[in-house]
Amino acid sequence: AQSVTQLGSHVSVSEGALVLLRCNYSSSVPPYLFWYVQYPNQGLQLLLKYTSAATLVKGINGFEAEFKKSETSFHLTKPSAHMSDAAEYFCAVSDSDTDKLIFGTGTRLQVFP
């Protein structure tokens, strides 16, 4: 079965700095991969999705993620953090055996002025 690991439960950056949130998945078979964002007191919303069409995936709000099969990684980046990016971010992977979406434990991003 698939699993996903997010390294770092908390990440803090200064406004304008690079954002890097790490995600590794367990399988060598490229699945669907996703990043979701949860703003305070809100539900999750889809940030971006990898479906094997391109290894670099662009999402909303200037975020992008690169799929690296050799590293089984799907890290999320943004060149310049904004205060409004403060949220919790979840990496998720699809499991073709169970037809389910498996979520990571989340990374809370703090942005300091």
For other proteins, the binding residues (CB under 8 A) are 9, 32, 34, 36, 41-46, 49, 90, 92, 94-96, 99-101, 103-106
C-alpha span between 14 and 97 (Å, rounded): 41
Angle, alpha carbons 102-73-109 (nearest 5°): 75
Q: Which is nearer to other proteins, 76 or 92 (CB)?
A: 92
CB 106 within 8 A of CB 7: no
> Phi and psi for 33 in degrees, rounded to 5?
-130, 145
C-alpha span between 48 and 91 (Å, rounded): 10
Q: Which is nearer to other proteins, 14 or 96 (CB)?
A: 96
Q: Which is nearer to other proteins, 85 or 89 (CB)?
A: 89
Q: Which is nearer to other proteins, 36 or 63 (CB)?
A: 36
Min separation Cβ 34 and other proteins, Å = 4
Min separation Cβ 47 and other proteins, Å = 11
Min separation Cβ 96 and other proteins, Å = 7
CB 48 within 8 A of CB 64: yes
